Amino acid sequence: MTKFVSRREILGLIAKAGASGAVLQASNALGIVPDSYVDIPKIPPVDSGNRPSVVVLGAGVGGLTAALELKKAGYSVVVLEAAGRAGGRNMTVRHGDLIDEVGNPQICDFDDEPHMYFNAGPARIPSSHRNVLHYCKELGVELEFFINENKETYIQDDAMLDGKPIKNREFTTNARGFMAEIMAKNFTNAELDQPFDEWEIEALMRSLRRMGDLDEDMIYRGSTRGGYSHGGFLEHGHAHETIALRDLLKSALFSEALSQNEGETGPMLFQPVGGMDQIIKGYLRKLPDEVFYNVMVTSVMLQNEGIEVVYEHKGIKYKIEADYCFNSIPTHLMTGIDNNFSADYKEAMAYPRRGEAYKSAFQAKERFWEKDDIFGGISWTNQPIEQIWYPPHGMYKEKGIILAAYNYGGGMHFTQLTQEERIETAIRQGEKVHPNYRGLVEKGITIAWHRMNHMLGCSARWQKSRSGFTQEEERLFQTLRQPAGNRHYTIGDQMTKHTAWQESAILSAHWAINDMLARKSGSTMPGQRV
């Protein structure tokens, strides 16, 4: 009996092979995932004598985007920010900066040099994030390339090769070689729904041979793609000793190593010259008088034809009334602020969980990674620190800032440690990748986003299952997407289904503005859902 494979099954098979970038492309081609690009809102200019007023809560990327676009159209805009800085999770740490983590505040002691900074939140911009790039261009933010994958970096797992780190290129070369050999040996017409012609078989075999660097017998016997043990220039290069597939499979990082640079990190990546917060500085240049800091919102109340926000600044309470509110305060914090929203809206605000991202960084006394031919990229380890990032900027400078840990989903582990224990953990685990690590790093800092003041979490997590939104989750999401009283909009990446990116926060602001315009005109909602 002929077995037919559904489109989603095809994507599942592709995903199991570790090709998430192929999944994204295939999904778009099959019409399963809509294009997330949304045009910049076209807001009709307002009469200067009758300017609608907007209060924006939170000066993160989403809030600043809403403020900027509405101000350009002539709206009266005020932005209230609880922290002493703008940016939200867009945070670049330099000499003298405060990491305002509850119970663990830190002042950064890095050397005061332009290249000595650490992007504690977002650190890379995919070229597919066209809205972020649009604002970088509009705001005069200079960009440079970000190196995400580098085959000269390391993969380390205590379960593999007695914990010895190996170069990424050695790992992936051997893995692909053996996998290509297995595929070639097991390829028969009988196993296919529709037999291939001889030329098709030959084309596939040729591709497998090339992919895995197999010999004429379709056997993998090692490859110089994994680097040379010796030679390679004035004499023939000799490949490193082959690493057995059984040894590679012992590592939990096997699929991670093969799927790097896929999906959103597959296209060209960028970073702002001088730190990710250059984007925030660009917004603030356009909003010099609109943003107010150290403001604690105490109530948000719907009125018949507007909204009232009460806030406190330096012990004094103030009240501001506006026609609309664009609110990027994390929803789990809004549940603790007085409001008169509907029961359904409050239920939706309380539902999303928050991510537990954790990062740490060191000042390196010397750029030791460059002596090991590492210029940017990420080393992976099956330890709680998970990743070590090497700065793509500041090449050949005396010192640099190395990201010593990035754990996106298990950051709570580190909250159980003191600051000293966090630093010691990063050093001890980093030594398994770089044996001389302890003597080369200093002035460590850490940041647990689920304990950062005014945020208490990173991106929202709507889904409790990896299989997608349940009907109940979809109901709650759509409830929160609708403006409370047609006046209050919840925005930020928390109001998208692809959280944790600046692109998502920007798109949420665009969507809310378009919805406001549509409701004012009585038309249907323009654009696409994000």
CATH code of 197's domain: 1.20.1440.240
Q: Are 444 and 481 in contact (CB under 8 A)?
A: no
pLDDT, residue 192, reads 60
* Domain final position from 451, 485, 508: 451
Q: Which helix (DSSP H) or strand (DSSP E) does residue 247 occupy? A: helix 245-249
**Are 343 and 360 contained in the same domain?**
no
* In a domain? residue 514: yes
What is the predicted pLDDT for the residue at 188?
A: 63
**Domain closes at, from 231, 259, 287:** 259
Distance CA 481, CA 476 (A): 9
Domain containing residue 221: 168-259
Judgement on whether residues 343 and 468 belong to the same structural domain of the protein: yes
Question: How confident is the prediction along the chain (530 residues), in pLDDT tens digits per residue?
Answer: 444 444 444 444 444 444 434 433 443 444 333 344 547 999 999 988 889 999 999 999 999 999 999 999 999 999 999 999 999 999 999 999 999 999 999 999 999 999 999 999 999 999 999 999 999 999 999 999 999 999 999 999 999 999 999 999 999 999 989 888 888 887 666 566 667 788 877 887 888 888 888 888 888 898 888 877 888 777 778 888 898 888 888 888 887 777 776 666 767 899 999 999 999 999 999 999 999 999 999 999 999 999 999 999 999 999 999 999 999 999 999 999 999 999 999 999 999 999 899 999 999 999 999 999 999 999 999 999 999 999 999 999 999 999 999 998 777 889 899 999 999 999 999 999 999 999 999 999 999 999 999 999 999 999 988 788 999 999 999 999 999 999 999 999 999 998 999 999 999 999 999 999 999 887 654 444 44
Do residues 297 and 374 both lie within one domain?
no
pLDDT of residue 282: 98
Specify the DSSP element, H or E, that contains 8. Answer: helix 7-16
The distance from CA 197 to its chain's CA centroid, rounded to whole angstroms, is: 44
Task: Supply the pLDDT for residue 190.
Answer: 58
pLDDT given for residue 68 in this prediction: 98
Q: Please report the beta strands in 171-232, taking only residues with DSSP state E, as ranges in sequence order.
A: 228-230
User: Which tokens hold the place of 235?
Assistant: 């004499």
In this structure, which amino acid lies at residue 207?
S
Q: Which residues contact 285 (CB under 8 A, 6 or more apart)?
A: 139, 140
Same domain membership, residue 482 and residue 335: yes
Half-sphere exposure of 39 (CA within 13 A, CB side): 6
Task: Please answer whether residues 311 and 296 qualify as being in contact, where contact means their C-beta atoms are separated by less than 8 angstroms.
Answer: yes
Distance in angstroms (rounded) separating the CA atoms of residues 238 and 329: 58
Q: Spell 277-304 as b/e; 16+ CB within 10 A means b.
A: bbbbbbbbebbeebbeeebebeebbbee
pLDDT value of position 391: 96
At position 463, the amino acid (one-letter code) is: Q
Last residue of a domain, one of 425, 451, 477: 451
Q: Would 152 be classed as within a structural domain? A: no
Burial pattern 390-429, b for ≥16 Cβ within 10 A else e, equals bbbbbeeeebbbbbbbbbbeebeebbebebeebbebbbeb
Q: What is the CATH number of the domain that holds 111?
A: 3.90.660.10
Same domain (yes/no): 205, 343: no
Two tokens, residue 284: 């603030």
Residues 242 and 390 in one domain: no
Q: 296 in a domain, yes or no?
A: yes
Phi-psi region of 376 (alpha: psi -120 to 50; beta: other; left: phi over 0): left
CA–CA dist 318, 333 (Å, integer):
20
Residues 505 and 485 in one domain: yes
Tally the domains of the chain. Answer: 3
Indicate if 253 and 174 belong to the same structural domain: yes
Predicted TM-score (pTM) of the model is 0.86
Question: Does 100 map to a domain?
Answer: yes
336 and 373 both lie in a single domain: no
* CA nearest to 321, candidates 308, 311, 304: 308
Residues 492 and 442 in one domain: no
What CATH number corresponds to the domain at position 474? Answer: 3.50.50.60
Q: Please, are residues 62 and 306 in contact by the beta-carbon 8 Å criterion?
A: no
Instruction: Encode burial over 220-234: b for 16+ CB neighbours within 10 A, e otherwise.
Output: bebbbbbbeeeeeee
Q: Tell me: do 175 and 254 sit in the same domain.
A: yes
Q: Please indicate, yes or no, if residue 376 is contained in any of the structural domains.
A: yes
Q: Are residues 422 and 365 in the same domain?
A: yes
* Radius of gyration of the CA atoms of the chain, in A: 26
